[in-house]
Amino acid sequence: MDGNYTLEGILILLRHGDRGPLSHIRNISSVNCAMSSYTSIRAYSNFLQNISKSPGFSQFLGPFHNFPLLPANECALGQLTLVGVSQLHKLGHVLRMVYGDKLGIGNGSLTNEDIVVYSTRYRRTFQSTLAFLYTFLAPEDLQRIVLKESQSLAFCFNDCVCPAAETYRKIFTVESSEYLNSHPAVMKLVKFVTSIVFEMPHETLASNPHSLHDALLTYICHNSPLPCLSSAGDQDLCVRAEHVTSLFTYIDWESRQYLKSHNLRKSCLLRAYGLLRNIVSFILHMVSEKKPRIVLYSGHDKTIQYLTFALGISDGITPHYASRLIFELYRKKGKPKKDSPLAREYYFRIVFNGKDLTNQVNFCRNSVVQYIPEKVPTVTMKNSSVPKKQSSYLCPIESVVRFLHDDYFHIFNTTNFKDSCLVRDSQ
C-alpha cells in the first residue's frame, strides 16, 4: 500500500502491439515479422488451443468469437505481428507485478463485475487484448470476463455523432500541411523515400511523412534491411539510415508543433468526450460500489491521442505500439470526515508509459496533493546510490468531475456536447 492511500481500481487505455504497415510496401514478404526463437509464443499457442476447448471460452470471446486468436507468422497489412503479441505479454506481466496484489488478481476474489474489457472490432486490438490478459490475469480470472466491443475507435459510446469534430480536424489538417510546405528539403526527401518504399506511391502518400513513418517502422522494428529500387542506371536507389533519421527528426518536430493548434485541441476534446464520460462514470462507480476494479479499453494510437490532447498532457508525438495510459484510483486511508461526501476521499493519478503526468493535467494543476509512495520499487545495482524517494501527485476526483460537467465546453462557448458539435457558418 502506498502511504496514506490505497489503490481501489485502475482504468487502462491500450494501444495494440507491433503490426504490419497500413499501405502496401515493397518486398514485404522479405521482412520477418515473426520472431526466430520466441518459445513463449509456443506456450501461449498451446494455452489458447487448450482453453478454446473449454465451454466458457466462447462466452468469454463474446462478439469476437469468430476472430483468429493469434496473428499469422508474416507481416500482413494492418495485422498484429508475433512481435506485437510478445509486447503485450511483457506489458501484461509488468502491470501484473505492479497492480496484481493490490487489486486481488489471482487470489480468487475477482468476479465478472470486477473487470470490464472493451476492444475495438479489429483483429489487432482483439488479439492484443487476449495477449495482454493472458499475462495480466490468472487463467481462472480470464474465464470470468465477457469481452465487449466498442464500435468506435474513440470509445465514445453514446457521444459519437459530432460534425464539428470533423470540421476542426479538417482545418487542422490544412494548417499542419504548412509545416511540410515550409521545409522543401524534407518534402523532397519524403517524395524520394516514398517512391522506394511503397508499391503504389500515389499522390496522397507522396506528401505524407506520417504514412512514410508508419511504413518504415515495418523494416526498422523487424531488423530488416531498408529497401532499394533497382534503377535503369548503374546505381540502385536505396533508403539509407540517414534518410530515416532526418525524417523521424522532422516528424518529431512537426508533431510537437501540433500542441499549438486550437483546432486540433477542439477536435480532440469533442472526440474524447464520450470516453472521458465513460471513465468518470466508472470512477464514480468504483467509489460507490467498489467495482469494477479493472477497466481495459483496447484501442489505437488515436484513442490515446484524443484523450491526451483533451487533457492537455500530450507531447504531440504518436504513442508507440503497446503504449498505455492508466488512470489509478486511490482512497485516502482512515475514517471519512462526518457529513463529507464520499467522493472527497478519492484521488486519481494518470500514468502514461510509466511516467506520472498527473501534475500536467490542466484541471489538476491547482488541486494536486503530493505524496511519497511508501515502497519505491528498488532496483539493486552494484555501486548504485540508494534510490531517491520520488514524490508523486494525486488529483482529487472532484476536479475531473467539475471539468467534465462545468468547464469542458468553455472553449466552444457552449455548455454541452450537442451545441459544441453543431457546425456553424463562421467556422
Ligand X SMILES: *[C@@H]1O[C@H](CO)[C@@H](O)[C@H](O)[C@H]1NC(C)=O
Interface residues with ligand X (CB under 6 A) are 26-27, 30, 46-47, 50, 54, 102, 104, 107-109, 227-229, 413
**End-to-end Cα distance, the chain:** 51
Shortest CB 229 distance to ligand X, Å: 6
Shortest CB 288 distance to ligand X, Å: 17
Shortest CB 348 distance to ligand X, Å: 18
Q: Torsions phi, psi of 325, nearest 5?
A: -115, 120
**C-beta of 184 vs 233, nearer to ligand X:** 233
Three-class secondary structure of residue 9 per DSSP: strand
Residue with cell 460534425: 163
Shortest CB 25 distance to ligand X, Å: 10
Long-range CB contacts (within 8 A, 24+) of 68-72: 68/123, 68/127, 69/127, 69/130, 70/44, 70/45, 70/127, 71/123, 71/124, 71/127
Shortest CB 104 distance to ligand X, Å: 3
**Closest residue to ligand X using C-beta atoms:** 104
**Secondary structure letter of residue 375 according to DSSP:** S
**C-beta of 33 vs 395, nearer to ligand X:** 33
Concatenating the DSSP letter of every residue in 98-109 gives HHHHHHTTTTT-
Q: Torsions phi, psi of 385, nearest 5?
A: -75, 160
**CA–CA distance, 236 with 233 (Å, rounded to integer):** 7
Shortest CB 239 distance to ligand X, Å: 9
Three-class secondary structure of residue 328 per DSSP: strand
**C-beta of 83 vs 103, nearer to ligand X:** 103
**C-beta of 228 vs 369, nearer to ligand X:** 228
Q: Which three cell numbers, joined as nine digits, stand for 382?
A: 552494484
**C-beta of 229 vs 376, nearer to ligand X:** 229
**C-beta of 20 vs 227, nearer to ligand X:** 227
Determine how β-strand 115-120 pairs with β-strand 148-150: parallel
